Chains A and B, each alone.
Chain A
Amino acid sequence: MTSANPGRWWRRFLALPNDAPAKTIGVAFLVALVCSLLVTITAIALKPRRDANRMAGHAAQILALVDTLGGGVPDARLVDLATGAYVTYDPGTTVDLQSDRDLAGLGSRESVATVFEVRDGGVLRLILLPVRGAGYQSMLKGYLALQADLNTVAALTFYEHGETPGLGSRIEERAWQAGWPGKQVADAGGVIRIEVVEGAATGVHQVDAISGATRTSNGVTQLMRFWLGPDGYGPFLDRRRMEEEQ
């Protein structure tokens, strides 16, 4: 018979006894297909709105962070990460990262990033850099606040992650984040030294790891190294150091 007729195929499929293996597999497949289509379409259609909501949430987060660091009005600036220069337009493009330089496990990063500056009478006081990187089982997203010398950490906060509750999730706790302010990112020679260490953290470049969450802690070290390095905000910070001194 003409098995090419889809209507006939469909009727033959429906007429199969429910416990026939072909019917079982077929129904499972069709239900999964329709459900995944439904979920996918909803997720894609609503993504712009959810992103806008999340952005508004970030704005509140940034203001709260700035408030705890002495207040002021954060000014959003677009920065071309490759050159470190301010730009006025975000083309929305991304740059692939070679795996040996991709410390934070990102795959690719945006070519233009939004940073936030707080100035007192034109003098830079704080700079807030969005950072992210792979933790143990999720992407850690947060803000690194640097003081005007661009080397002293003012704060590190994480606002989004999916780490193990009670272990890696402690990166969002104030108690752990309190270990960051005052730490020095780089040594006198400009080499990035900041790291999260197990055991007792000593010295100005070290922060205590979260016990039981080694991979999360290492992820934080790696994302700090990446975003402060040449593929992250390195060029921007170098340029700021030169220009803000004049």
Chain B
Amino acid sequence: MSEHRRTVTAPLLVANPVTLHVLGVCSALAVTTSLAASLVMSAALIVVVTVSSGIVSLIRRHIPRSIRLIVQITIIASLVIVVDQVLQAYLFAMSRRLSVFVGLIVTNCIVLARAESFAMEHAPGASVLDALGNGLGYALILVAIGTVRELLGAGTLMGVTVLPITADGGWFTPLEFMNLPPSAFFLLGLLVWTVRTLRPEQAEPARESMDITEAR
């Protein structure tokens, strides 16, 4: 049982896919202008990564190696379409705000990485827990950044006023910069820095040349 718990909790802080592997950064920058958008995006990713890992793990013994990536992506892409359709049907305004980024979950390397590196070699139960943990780890980062950005950029959380802004007669002057994508880049950088200062073993060894491992 404790091992199962570790499978889920390890990716939250110790081996967080965003701060350790710097995966899934594109959407972390794009959709975190508000907490609500961060939560919906996180939920969409958790559903896709968990279900896709479970399915890939179930049929892992019958996936020919030569087409394994295509099979995985087909499954992931189908799930993403389904999630996108559900959002369009039940959370229309939110799906318009997230626009293409729900569809881009297909290219989120956290999802493919869990399918390819874990689910292909583990039983369905462990794969689902591993995917859930990684999805929650992604969600944790998105929610953290979304909270800071919405609070400092608009003075609200989930649309509810926390810091009354000057435009409405309050005292807080919103930081316009927080509404722009680069602010998420800085916040994410600060977060990675903090985590790696607290856990120096996560820092990558210095290299001769920069090696860009992953963009999305």
Contact = CB atoms under 8 A, between A and B. Distances in A.
Tell whether A pairs with B.
Answer: yes
Interface in A9-46: 14, 18-19, 23-24, 27-28, 31-32, 35-36, 38-39, 42-43, 46
Interface stretch (A49-57, A142-150, A179-187): A49-57
A32 to B, nearest CB: 6
A31 B88 CA distance: 25
A46 B86 contact: yes
Contacts of A24: 64, 66-67
Nearest to B81: A39
B75 A39 contact: no
Contact of B75 (A23, A31, A46, A49): A31
B89 A27 contact: no
A37 to B, nearest CB: 9
B71 interface: yes
Contact of B90 (A14, A32, A49): A49
Contacts of B67: 24, 27-28
B70 interface: yes
B63 interface: yes
B85 interface: yes
Interface string B55-75: 000010111111100110011
**Pairs of residues from A and B, 5 with the lowest C-beta to C-beta distance, nearest first:** A53-B92, A35-B78, A49-B89, A46-B89, A24-B64
B203 interface: no
Contact of B74 (A19, A23, A35, A53): A35
B104 interface: no
Interface of A: 14, 18-19, 23-24, 27-28, 31-32, 35-36, 38-39, 42-43, 46, 49-50, 53-54, 56-57
Interface of B: 59, 61-67, 70-71, 74-75, 77-78, 81-82, 85-86, 88-90, 92, 96
Contacts of A31: 59, 71, 74-75
A38 B90 CA distance: 18
A42 B90 CA distance: 13
A53 B89 contact: yes
Nearest to B78: A35
B88 A50 contact: yes
A14 B88 CA distance: 38
A46 B85 contact: yes
10 contacts: A18-B64, A23-B62, A24-B67, A27-B59, A27-B62, A27-B71, A31-B75, A49-B89, A50-B85, A53-B89
Nearest to A19: B64
Given A50-B88, A53-B92, A35 B75 contact: yes
Given A28-B71, A35-B78, A23 B86 contact: no
